[in-house]
Amino acid sequence: MYKSNKKNLGGNKLMRKLSILLTVSMMILSISTTVYAQVQVHGFVLARTTFADTTYTSRIERYGLQFKETIDDEFDWLTEFYIHPHQPSDKGLLYMESAYLNWHLKNKLPWDFNVRIGKGRSYCYGITPSYGNRRTTEYSLYSLAFTQMRITGFQTYSNFGDNIQLAVAIINPYKVNVPAPRTLPDFPVGSNLPVSVSDRDNDNSTFRRFALSGRLGYKNSMLNIGANLYASDPKENVDGAKSRLGFDAEIALENGLIAQAQYTMARTQIECDGTFEDLDHMGFEVMGGYEREKLALYARFGMMTYDDQLQDLNSLMLSAVYKIRPLIHFRIEGLINSETTREASADKAAWDESDNNVLIFETMFLW
């Protein structure tokens, strides 16, 4: 009898331990599930087939992975990474696209005021070329020069009433890609159009200088127009943007027709033949399109001029998108690129035009 009771006691202890372990495990699983449910995870993949003069390739152009969470009415955050599997690690295999905290203060101030702290796309100059706004899969010539890069610092967004918007940023100054410019397409296969002066991210400004950027705009259900300003002091003997003045406008009609236009006058300090000098340059673009639930058609023309010091550039982009499913999009896009030409002289090098037109077929799927 004694042995039997001892066995029962031991069995009860074991059952209690198992019950406690199971309860703790369920609590941990429940907490983990709750936390996971709060953090939203999204992603996308771009698969491309590209034809450029005599070059052909199919490849995975880009993966995107995004995490975001709304903590409460006052705070939310987002981080996003791009993976370019065709790039070596020192050329951008893994790219931190965004990492920022949003602080919403409209309940604490007399107007709708928001602060973004960290790195992300700039909403304080021009039409931000995010996927929804730029309409083409490739960045435009204008975007590569002026609005494509991500900025690091503080962006503020104020809404006054229903229509007036003011965005002001204190950020690391723009770095300029001279003499190794960005290209159109952005990650080229074969032929491409080098953008002579183009901005780059500046995640770590070491010159104890900052830049100011701002956009004052008016927006209603159909029209969004804005005036833009950028100013910085890039320091002597350092490549960098000094000042910019720009205008932008977008109109979207209920019948699906849309149009965009952007213009910038800029002054940039660049190195030329071992000395640094100010370059006055200008860029503009116009885009028209038609959007419906499953089909979209776009045409964009852009031009860059460099005060006869560098070769002028222009590009025509034609793009058609078929959204066969809400999260599966097929696109065909053509880039017709061109440059100004000139004959060589005693003090000037010749400018030649390249055969750098590109045709892209792309499949994007999202989750």
pLDDT tens digit sequence for 164-188: 999 999 999 998 876 567 899 998 8
**DSSP output for 83-139:** E-TTS-GGGTSEEEEEEEEEEE-TTTSSSEEEEEEEEEE-SSSSS---HHHH-SSSP
Average pLDDT of the residues in 246-255: 97
pLDDT of residue 17: 53
pLDDT of residue 2: 46
Sorting pLDDT into bands at 50, 70 and 90, what band is 336? very high
pLDDT of residue 209: 85
pLDDT of residue 1: 45
**Nearest to residue 288, comparing CAs of 310, 315, 256?**
256
Average pLDDT, the chain: 88
pLDDT of residue 20: 55
DSSP-derived 3-state class of residue 71: coil
User: Domain 41-366 adopts which CATH fold?
Assistant: Porin (2.40.160)
pLDDT tens digit sequence for 268-308: 998 877 788 999 999 999 999 999 999 999 999 999 999 98
pLDDT tens digit sequence for 135-161: 999 999 999 999 999 999 999 999 999
Going through 135-274 in order, the beta strands assigned E by DSSP cover 150-160, 164-171, 175-176, 183-184, 193-194, 199-200, 211-219, 223-232, 240-252, 257-272
Round to the nearest angstrom and report the end-to-end CA distance of the chain: 64
pLDDT of residue 207: 67
Instruction: List the chain domain ranges.
Output: 41-366
